[in-house]
Structure 1
Amino acid sequence: MSQSTALLPAPATERGDGGCARPSRATVAGPVLAVGAFAAARLTGMVCVALVSHLTHQDAFRLLGRSWDSRWYTGIAAHGYGRTLFFEPGVVQSDLAFFPLYPGLVRAVATVLPLGYGAAALLLSWLAAGAAAWGVYAIGERLHGRRTGTFLVLLWALMPHSVVLSLAYTEPVLTALAAWSLYAVLSGRWLWAGTLAALAGLARPNGFAVAAAVCVTAAYEIVVRIKGRAPALEAPRKVPHSLWKLGGLRRVCAGAALAPLGWAAYVLYVGIRKGDPLHGYFAVQRGWGSTFDFGAGSLAFVKHLLRDGDKLVFSMTLVIVAGALLLFALLVADRAPLPLVVYTGVLVLITVGGSGFFESKPRFLLPAFPLLLPLALAMTRARPNSAHLVVCALAGLSLAYGTYLVTTAHMPL
């Protein structure tokens, strides 16, 4: 097997009457426990937000479903694209900066169900967060076992900025599509991987990271297959190996071809609307102050932060980004599977190398759940009391800081 599939234990199954394989209780209990723990963590976070909102005379529903970017998404869902806000010279905020999958789904849900756009957006985000938690668990479990998968989900649910997973934002949708696309790559399901990557590319600008992971891994897989060293999938019985190898290559190529289509299609669409097919979308992003400057803007802000100090949110952002860089180094050192390294590396590169809203960088890193694999492995190997202590400490930090972000900080997330 190739590097991308060598770390994949077969799912646990047991034989029932008639000889048909069926999932074992352990197979079913693992994801149920992990998603249940995730739901409990996020529900507790929302209760904290609701309590503080009540005490401070704020509307919790508005804070969760109609704040900052949520208003742009629900506006697109309700009225389509076409809203532009003009500020000082050079600052032009167009709704074309927001990718269409999430507002399209919000509109569909609001059309089918008796819900307003804000409620539909929250419902979608919460369901996507649950699907993402399941996908995160599935990857952790297949690579390192049930315990690691559960810890991986818990760590992801209890990051200081994981409150975003309870808001009407696109990060849950992107993470769900990314996790299951990466799982499909790891298990050799290339058409599924490419299709989910294409949808991820329609969800957010940094959804391109999923396509990059699929394409780079596909290139590696093609080289391995052509050289004939170790095919990723075993040929079925009664099928000549040469034909199986050719069919497998076609699926790998098809998955890689599908992966970038969603992201490329929307960027091209915006470019055509702006009269510049190749650069129009990036001009829209520049209007928001978002460019890729290889970290120059971020470095200048960090210097200001270290020299002069600033708000708590900025200091926490610096700590979170620095921690992400360290965790990425550990992920590479642990020789994680190629698709996880590429996906996470692209997300980290976009976050660190991009300028714009510095306080939003933790949110951009939220889909980079493979960063937490080294910590999940360490907790798996630690004594239970030590692991429980870490979980409790993270829960306290996450609930307190997440509630502060939503109810008190009043800054764009």
Structure 2
Amino acid sequence: MKDLGSSRAGRPARHTPPPAPGLRRAAPALAAFVAVRLLGLVALAVWSARAGSSPHTLLSARWDSLWYARIAAEGYGYEVVLPSGAVHSNLAFFPLLPWLERLVAAPTGLSYGSAGLVVSAVAALAAAWGIFAVTDLRYGRRAGVCAAAAWAALPVGIVQSMAYSEALFTALAAWALYAVLRERWVLAGLLAAGAGLTRPVGAAVVAAVWVGAVLALRKDGDGGGRGRRDRRPVAGMLLAPLGAAAYVLWVGAHTGRGPLGYLDVQAGWGNGFDGGLAFARFVGDKLASPTSLAAGIGLVAGVLLVLWLYALGVRQRQPVVLLVYCGIVVALALCASGYFGSKPRLLLPAFPLVLPPAVALARWRTGRAAAALGAVALIGAVYGAFWLNGSGPP
């Protein structure tokens, strides 16, 4: 299966996939990830001390963190009616993170926001491990280390340390994709179901599992093994959408709107999918205003960079399941009609975008690669501190 399980570009897939990378093999990647994230937290602490703000509050008790903590404390049913008449319901937030916050808070006595920080810290480490595992399987250990460090060093990497769901979702997505690449279909389906309970973009993980399973079934059919066909890919396909489907159907029943209930909830928040028209108008308005021209140019450059990195992934011949997953995450982030300031955060789970630069860095000498990643990490740390003390991730 050329695009599912090959361990290096140009080499055929192994019939028996290698075991998952253990802690010893992944240790350099995890150490690099922790170092970058600590740098970000130190920068946040220094900036916050000068600004008179609380890093803990910024990380655990602002924006979406408050909504997750309220769900953990009180369950669903809370909503805010804006002066415009729009209704912001907490049904927009998927339940896995608040469930885990409640699970951590019960034995520890932590607040739900602080419990969310614990969940995110563990999940971010698991995500870095999963990103390393996927990259190591395809491009080797050095590239895996660079990929984990590069993901941590992203300008919005500070979100990985917040009581937000991005780190948890990325962990589930990365390990689900790794399970697909190793043809562990039941595990892939279970992890995809977990991702579907975490964020709406869990659909991207489900699609990747389905595509991988279809390719596996086609290969099995081409092999002519009549009567011995492996049904585990089918099991993975059936399991994958259960998490998202269960929550969406529950919201539909709760609102009395059936399958359209969740879409109504999102509409109340001003969220929708219009193919990017609203975002294009938003960028156009920035470009047309002399006072925001620089911001508009930055937005255009950012979008072009994302598309260029995705095109590099295609040229790099990334496994098709990674391209499917990443393409859907990027499309949903860029083509949503609301909350334009959230788009960098929504792109955070699209970790295959860092694979092309990670593979390039892996070819450099260790000192040179470390210096480049360190410079990017420092810029990202300063930006994250500035961002969180300013507009932040809505």
TM-score bin, normalised by smaller chain: over 0.9
The one of 28, 38, 41 equivalent to 2:36 is 41
- Identical positions, percent: 43
Shift of 1:59: 1.4
Q: Is the 8 A contact 1:37 1:154 kept in 2?
A: yes
Kept in 2: contact 1:317–1:359 (CA 8 A): no
Partner residue in 1 for 2:361: 379
* Secondary structure of the structure 2 residue equivalent to 1:93: strand
| Alignment-derived partner of residue 152 in structure 1 | 147
Equivalent residues of 2:284, 2:296 under 8 A apart: no
CA contact (8 A) 1:72 1:95 kept: yes
Counterpart secondary structure, 2:119: helix
Which position in structure 1 is the counterpart of 2:282? 301
> Is the 8 Å Cα contact of residues 314 and 358 (structure 1) preserved in structure 2?
no
Q: 1:43/1:384 Cα in 2 relative to 1: closer, same or farther (>3 Å)?
A: closer
Which of 189, 193, 197 aligns to 2:192? It is: 197
Structure 1 counterpart of 2:71: 76
Q: 1:174 to 1:314 in 2, by over 3 A?
A: farther
| Pair 1:271-2:266 in alignment | no
Q: Which residue, out of 150, 153, 170, partners 1:175?
A: 170
Q: Using the TM superposition, give the Cα deviation of residue 277 of structure 1 relative to its aligned residue in structure 2, in angstroms.
A: 1.2
Question: Quick check: 1:369 aligned with 2:356?
Answer: no
Q: State the match for 1:99 in structure 2.
A: 94
Using the alignment, how far apart are the partners of 2:293 and 2:24 within structure 1? 43
Q: Is the 8 A contact 1:2 1:224 kept in 2?
A: no
- Structure 1 residue aligned with 2:324: 342
* 1:132–1:172 Cα contact (<8 Å) kept: yes
Whether the 8 Å contact between 1:274 and 1:280 is mirrored in structure 2 is yes
SS in 1 for 2:331: helix
| Residue type at the aligned position of 1:150 | V
Indicate conservation of the 8 Å contact 1:107/1:117, yes or no: yes
Matches within 5 A, 1:5-404: 5-7=5-7, 28-228=23-223, 242=226, 245-246=228-229, 248=230, 250-308=231-289, 309-310=291-292, 317-404=299-386
Map of 1:236 onto structure 2: none
Paired residue secondary structure (2:80):
strand
Partner of 2:10: none
The one-character-per-residue Cα deviations of 1:27-55 (angstroms, maximum 9, x if unpaired) are 64331111111011111111111121122
CA displacement at 1:368 relative to structure 2: 0.7
Residue correspondences, number: 387
Higher alpha-carbon deviation: 189-198 or 28-37: 28-37
Residue 4 of structure 1 corresponds to: 4
Superposed CA deviations along residues 213-242 of structure 1, whole A, max 9, x for unmatched, are 00111112212211227xxxxxxxxxxx65
1:310 counterpart SS class = helix
1:395, distance to aligned residue in structure 2 (A): 1.4
Question: Take 1:11 and 1:264, find their aligned partners in 2: how far apart are those partners?
Answer: 31
SS in 1 for 2:33: helix
- Segments of 5+ residues of structure 2 without an aligned counterpart are 8-12
3-state SS, counterpart of residue 297 of structure 1: helix
Give 3-state SS (helix, strand or coil) of 1:143's partner. helix
Distance across 1 between alignment mates of 2:296 and 2:168: 26
Deviations 1:183-217 (A, max 9, x none): 00000100000000000000011111111100111
Residue 157 of structure 1 deviates from its aligned partner by 0.6
Check conservation: 2:48, 2:54, Cα contact below 8 A.
yes
The whole-number CA distance in structure 1 between the counterparts of 2:30 and 2:97 is 22
Query: 2:381, 2:294 → 1: CA distance?
Result: 16
Amino acid at match of 1:4: L
SS at match of 1:404: helix
Distance 2:130 2:213 in 1: 21
CA 1:27–1:288: 2 relative to 1, 3 Å: closer
Change (3 A) 1:382 1:119: same
Once the two structures are TM-superposed, the CA of residue 114 in structure 1 deviates from its matched residue by: 2.0
Task: Return the letter of the residue paired with 1:323.
Answer: L
Range with greater deviation from structure 2 (77-86 or 217-226): 217-226
CA distance in 2, matches of 1:312, 1:86: 35
Q: Which whole-Å CA distance do the structure 2 matches of 1:311 and 1:71 have between them?
A: 33
Cα 1:357–1:198 change in 2 (3 A) is: same
Distance in 2 between the 1:313 and 1:79 partners? 39
